[in-house]
Amino acid sequence: MEIDPIQIDAHNASLLKQHTRKLQQLTRENSRTQYVIRKLVEFQIAIPSWALGTGGTRFGRFAGGGEPRTLEEKILDVGLLHQLNKSSGAISLHIPWDIPTHTKKIKALAADLGLKFDAVNSNTFQDQPHQKLSYKFGSLQHVNAKVRQQAIDHNLEVIKYGKALGSNAITVWLSDGSCFPGQLNFRKAFERTLESLQAIYAALPSQWKMFIEYKAFEPNFYSMTVGDWGQSYLYASKLGPKAYTLVDLGHHLPHANIEQIVALLLMEGKLGGFHFNDSKYGDDDLTVGSINPYQLFLIFNELVEGMDARHMNHATNLGWMIDASHNVKDPLEDLLQSVEAIKIAYAQSLLVDRRELNRAQQANDVARAQEILQQAFRTDVRPLLAEARLQAGAALQPLQLFRQLQVRRQLIAERGKNTQATGL
Ligand code: PSV
Ligand code: MN
């Protein structure tokens, strides 16, 4: 389904007076609002094709109804999100969960909805039904060269699909590692993985990037062969200038200082992109900003500072993507909330008075530095997000409109109650 633009206009008209009042108030108090609104209009966050259905855990899955049954329906769902917020203008495919067999048709459908294809993701963490060799003991790290070659070939195929769709990056996340001490020779596993990554890197089209995603644990519980940002950085450095580290917020050990990691990767020109989510314990894949919005703000604070120092384009120089799983919420509602949380943190970080912060840092004025950060963090920037949406032709209150229009009910009527999307 698509939303009739007249319905968006009617929704906006009904909320305009209240919105204008809040925006004027904020504009009176802050001189940067026009700049922030402009930046917000440009800033897009890719939606992963695997997050449009219900996830579940190893203990069970509770279907939500109306889930997309095909890649086309997933693209239509992202189109719906984008109509509502004009901030989700890209989709990231996970292959083979979503194989774009008819690339021309898929590309045309996405273009019709104003969507681009973000990074493509390979999957060598599961065995597929007709796969010859198993990834039980790893893929790119495997002791058997034939398994490694199979995993390399899969990545090359993913690049081929991505190229046909107009993507310009591949994200490689490996579940490779070991569950028990003694299982793996760490050095040899690293060397084999590097060699395999080199074969994939060699096949990257010009202008493409390779994102190497790290993860502290799960599914391997003793060691992960790309277990932290240091290891990812090592691979990326050895591979060459097209290889970058990808930071997934849920992939750290508890209490990791992610904002510091981000700052240093940016300094080295090796930060490639993000997978946004939130967590309390591990890789919980919860809605962005639902547990720790201050940390998200601090991460964006480093991102903006670091990108500006390198004269980078906030919207296009890094890959911005959500990576989440929805167990109890409607996936579309959850994604609307995640996008909102990301843009709130981004807008707040644009409000940080950098000159003043720098002065406070130089003077070792710790209290003042904290005040400056928290002044920005405690600013309610939601009217700026709403204004950016209004200017872009989206809804002032996307979630409210989603509910008013009973989008999920319509999707269930179209697709049925017991559909299951491919993915997590
Ligand atoms: C692994 O936990 C991960 O973060 C990787 O990005 C995967 O591609 C994704 O989740 C889906 O399983
Ligand atoms: Mn991820």
- Atom 7 in ligand 1: which residue has the minimum CA distance? 173
Output the residue whose Cα is nearest ligand 1's atom 5. Answer: 173
For residue 48, report the distance from its CA to the centre of ligand 2, in Å: 10
Measured CA to CA, the distance from residue 282 to residue 291 in angstroms comes to: 12
Contact 399, 333 (CB under 8 A): yes
Determine which residue's CA is closest to atom 10 belonging to ligand 1: 323
CA distance 132 to 338: 38
What one-character-per-residue DSSP string does 58-106 give? TTB----SS---SHHHHHHHHHHHHHHHS---EEE-BTTTS--SSHHHH
Structure tokens at 347: 């807008």
pLDDT digits (tens, 9 = 90+) for 262-297: 999 999 999 999 999 999 999 999 999 999 999 999
pLDDT for 57: 87
Element (H, E) at 134: none
Closest CA to 207 of 160, 242, 155: 242
Residue nearest (by alpha carbon) to ligand 1 atom 12: 424
pLDDT at 384: 98
* Centroid of ligand 1 to alpha carbon of 215 (angstroms): 9
Q: Is 276 in the pocket of ligand 1 (CB under 6 A)?
A: no
Q: Is 98 in the pocket of ligand 1 (CB under 6 A)?
A: no
Say what the pLDDT of residue 282 is. 94
- Whether 173 lines ligand 1, by a CB cut-off of 6 Å, is yes
Q: Report residue 287: phi and psi, to 5°.
A: -55, 135
Beta bridge partners, 48, equal 92
Query: Within 10 A of 221 (CB to CB), how many other CB atoms are there?
Result: 11
Q: Which amino acid is at 314?
A: H
User: How far is the CA of 139 from the CAs of 142, 210, 300, in angstroms?
Assistant: 5, 17, 34
Which of 155, 213, 247, 251, when mutated, tests ligand 1's pocket best, judged by the most ligand atoms within 8 Å of its CB?
Answer: 213
Mutual angle of helices 382-392 and 331-350, in 10-degree steps = 110
Q: What is the pLDDT along the chain (424 residues), one digit of tens a residue?
A: 899 999 999 999 999 999 999 999 999 999 999 999 999 999 999 999 999 998 888 898 888 899 999 999 999 999 999 999 999 999 999 999 999 999 999 999 999 999 999 999 999 999 999 999 999 999 999 999 999 999 999 999 999 999 999 999 999 999 999 999 999 999 999 999 999 999 999 999 999 999 999 999 999 999 999 999 999 999 999 999 999 999 999 999 999 999 999 999 999 999 999 999 999 999 999 999 999 999 999 999 999 999 999 999 999 999 999 999 999 999 999 999 999 999 999 999 999 999 999 999 999 999 999 999 999 999 999 999 999 999 999 999 999 999 999 999 999 999 999 887 777 6
Give me the half-sphere count of Cα atoms (radius 13 Å) on the Cβ side of residue 100.
29
Q: Which residues surround ligand 2, an ion (CB under 5 A)?
A: 248, 275, 323
Task: State the ligand closest to the CA atom of 275.
Answer: 2
C-alpha torsion 83→84→87→88, nearest 10: -60
Determine the distance separating the centroid of ligand 1 and the alpha carbon of 170, expressed in angstroms: 13
Residue minimizing CA distance to atom 1 of ligand 1: 173
Residue nearest to atom 8 of ligand 1 (CA): 173
